[in-house]
Amino acid sequence: MQHDTKNNSPATAALPSKSASPSQTSVVRVVIVEDDDWLRGNLEQEIGQTPGFKVLQTFRTAESALVGIPALRPDVVLMDINLPGMNGIECLRQLKTACPDLQVLMLTVYEESEQIFNSLLAGASGYLLKRTATTQIIESIRQMRAGGAPMTANIARKVVQYFNRMGNRTSECDRLSPREREVLELLARGDAYKQIADKLGVSLETVRMNVKNLYTKLHVHSRGEAVAKLMPRT
């Protein structure tokens, strides 16, 4: 019989001092959706013991996650794709409808283009392979909270390859200015806004304006949807 588990250990973050900033004291609240008992338990233990993180709950199925996550209101969800019953991509799609601001990091064995495309289109904020070290997963969560879109190196390379394949193909991306296309390509690489500003030699506000404009032109509302516009449906 399958059971969902809860992390009942106390939060590891220290109590905020009067001089501490919100970024220093805030705890990242994480939920894990994974049917492999060993991996789920290992992630729960290591993330839960990391200062600044708290695992609110874990789920073995998409169906139970859809019921529990909206009430928990986590900051980040680690989502497997190959779950019993409903798969993780459909679970992600439904979660983003119920909780639009939820950040979801896909953690999967799949490296196929279709799975990457569908995950980004459904609203994933990042995409890592399960063989990724837990320390790197934790760092990727931090990057995601800072505005990045973490991806395993070969996954990021595939996203860029999709962009290169577009060539002169007529698409909504043709509506973008050269600078907006530069910004979109850097978004596809997983860069945070500050990194993009530094690479392009512009202000953070200029990057935000470019992102807002390209979202409008592409008729999208998230980084994942924008990056998905680069990826042909093949």
Q: What pTM was computed for the model?
A: 0.62
Residues facing residue 108 across a β-bridge: 129
What confidence tens digit (pLDDT) does each residue in 109-145 have? 888 777 887 888 888 999 999 999 999 999 999 999 9
Let me know the angle formed at the C-alpha of 22 by 134 and 59, rounded to the nearest 5 degrees: 40
End-of-domain residue from the set 99, 129, 151: 151
We report the CATH number of the domain holding residue 120 as 3.40.50.2300
What confidence tens digit (pLDDT) does each residue in 47-84 have? 999 999 999 999 999 999 999 999 999 999 999 999 99
Instruction: For residues 19-47, give the mean pLDDT.
Output: 81
What confidence tens digit (pLDDT) does each residue in 118-128 have? 888 888 999 99
Identify whether 204 is part of a domain: yes
Q: Residue 19: which pLDDT band, with cuts at 50, 70 and 90?
A: very low
Residues 168 and 199 in one domain: yes
We report the CATH number of the domain holding residue 175 as 1.10.10.10
Residues 37 and 79 in one domain: yes
Question: Which positions ≥6 away from 134 have C-beta within 8 Å?
Answer: 42, 43, 46, 47
Domain that holds residue 206: 157-228
Tokens for 185?
């390509």
Q: Considering Cα of 174, then 178, then 182, then 187, what sign does the dihedral take?
A: negative
Identify whether 146 is part of a domain: yes
Residues 120 and 143 in one domain: yes
Identify whether 233 is part of a domain: no
Residues 42 and 111 in one domain: yes
What confidence tens digit (pLDDT) does each residue in 160-212 have? 776 666 554 446 677 888 899 889 888 887 788 888 999 999 999 999 999 99
- pLDDT at res. 171: 61
Identify whether 82 is part of a domain: yes
Residues 146 and 53 in one domain: yes
Residues 79 and 52 in one domain: yes
Tokens for 154?
């070969």
Residues 109 and 194 in one domain: no
The domain tally of the chain equals 2
Pairing of strands 5-6, 53-59: antiparallel
Residues 147 and 180 in one domain: no
Q: Residue 1: which pLDDT band, with cuts at 50, 70 and 90?
A: very low
Count CB atoms within 10 A of the CB of residue 63. Answer: 14
